[in-house]
C-alpha cells in the first residue's frame, strides 16, 4: 500500500542528495520516476534538481496553478519524488495525497520544515497534517548541536529576522544553526560564518 512521505531537514542536511539517490534506486529497479519541483526554485535552472554535493537530474518544474493529480496520469510513473516541497501550495499537497490514496502510488517529499523566522512553510504544514511517514534528516550547527533553524544572513554576515518568507539562496545567504546559537546571534548582533565555496 502506497504512502505519502515527508523527509525534512535544515539547510545543508542533504535533502536533495537523498531525493536524487532515491530516484536512482527506483530507476535501478526499472521503475519510472516523476521528479518534480516547484517553479519557484529556479536556482539551478528551470528543469534541474541539483544537490550541493554535485548530484543532479532533470525535473519538471510546476507553478502554483498546476494540478499535480491531473498531471500525474500523463507522466506514466511508478513513483513521485518531490524536491523543495515546502514551496508547493497546501492544495498541491492535497493533490499529492490523492495520488497516494486514489492511485496507490508512493509520493516522497523532501524539503524544509520552517523558514528563517522558524515559521512553517504552508506546504510543509500541510505535509505534517497529511503524511503517513515523517522523518527528520539531521544536520549540525557549528557548535555541534543539532541544527533546526535556517538562519538567513545578510551581505555583512548578520542574521536577518525580517523580510519575505521566500528568498532563494544557498550557502551564500543561509546557514543551519541550533536555536540557541540563532538566538545568540540575533541578541548579540554578531557575524556568523557562512560556508561559502572557495
Q: What is the DSSP string of 31-93?
A: --EEEEEETT--TT-TTEEE-TTS-EEE-EEE-TT--HHHHHHHH--SEEEEESGGGS-HHHH
pLDDT attached to residue 186: 86
pLDDT attached to residue 190: 63
Q: Which residues are tagged catalytic?
A: 84
Which is it for the CA torsion 179, 183, 186, 191, positive or negative? negative
Does CATH place domain 4-136 in 3.40.50.300?
yes
* Angle subtended by helix axes 68-75 and 90-103, to nearest 10: 50
> Rg of the chain over CA atoms, in angstroms?
17
Q: Which residues contact 127 (CB under 8 A, 6 or more apart)?
A: 4, 6, 8, 85, 93, 109, 111, 134
pLDDT attached to residue 51: 81
pLDDT attached to residue 114: 93
pLDDT attached to residue 169: 56
Which is it for the CA torsion 78, 2, 125, 73, positive or negative? positive
Q: Give the residue from 138, 125, 18 showing the smallest Cα distance to 82.
A: 18
Cβ pair 164, 186 in contact under 8 A: no
Indicate the burial class of 142 (C-beta count within 10 angstroms; 0-12, 13-18, 19 or more).
Answer: middle
- pLDDT, one tens digit for every residue, the chain (198 residues): 999 999 999 988 889 999 999 999 999 999 999 999 999 877 776 788 878 787 878 999 999 999 999 999 999 999 999 999 999 999 999 999 999 999 999 999 999 999 888 999 999 999 999 999 999 999 999 999 999 998 888 877 788 887 777 766 555 688 899 999 999 888 877 666 655 443
Amino acid at each position: 500500500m502506497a504512502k505519502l512521505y515527508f523527509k525534512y531537514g535544515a539547510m545543508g542536511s542533504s535533502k536533495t542528495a537523498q531525493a536524487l539517490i532515491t530516484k536512482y534506486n527506483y530507476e535501478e529497479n526499472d521503475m519510472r520516476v516523476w521528479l518534480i519541483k516547484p517553479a519557484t526554485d529556479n536556482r539551478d535552472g528551470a528543469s534541474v534538481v541539483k544537490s550541493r554535493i554535485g548530484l543532479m537530474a532533470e525535473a519538471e518544474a510546476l507553478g502554483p496553478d498546476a494540478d499535480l493529480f491531473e498531471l500525474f496520469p500523463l507522466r506514466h510513473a511508478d513513483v513521485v519524488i518531490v524536491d523543495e516541497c515546502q514551496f508547493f501550495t497546501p492544495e498541491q499537497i492535497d493533490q499529492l495525497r490523492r495520488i497516494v490514496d486514489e492511485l496507490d502510488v508512493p509520493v516522497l517529499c523532501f524539503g524544509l520544515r520552517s523558514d528563517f523566522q522558524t515559521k512553517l512553510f504552508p506546504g510543509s504544514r500541510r505535509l505534517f497534517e497529511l503524511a503517513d511517514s515523517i522523518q527528520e534528516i539531521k544536520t549540525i550547527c557549528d557548535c555541534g548541536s543539532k541544527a533546526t533553524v535556517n538562519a538567513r544572513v545578510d551581505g555583512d554576515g548578520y542574521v536577518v529576522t525580517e523580510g519575505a518568507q521566500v528568498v532563494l539562496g544557498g550557502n551564500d545567504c543561509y546557514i543551519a544553526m541550533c536555536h540557541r546559537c540563532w538566538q545568540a546571534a540575533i541578541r548579540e548582533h554578531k557575524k556568523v560564518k557562512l560556508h561559502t565555496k572557495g
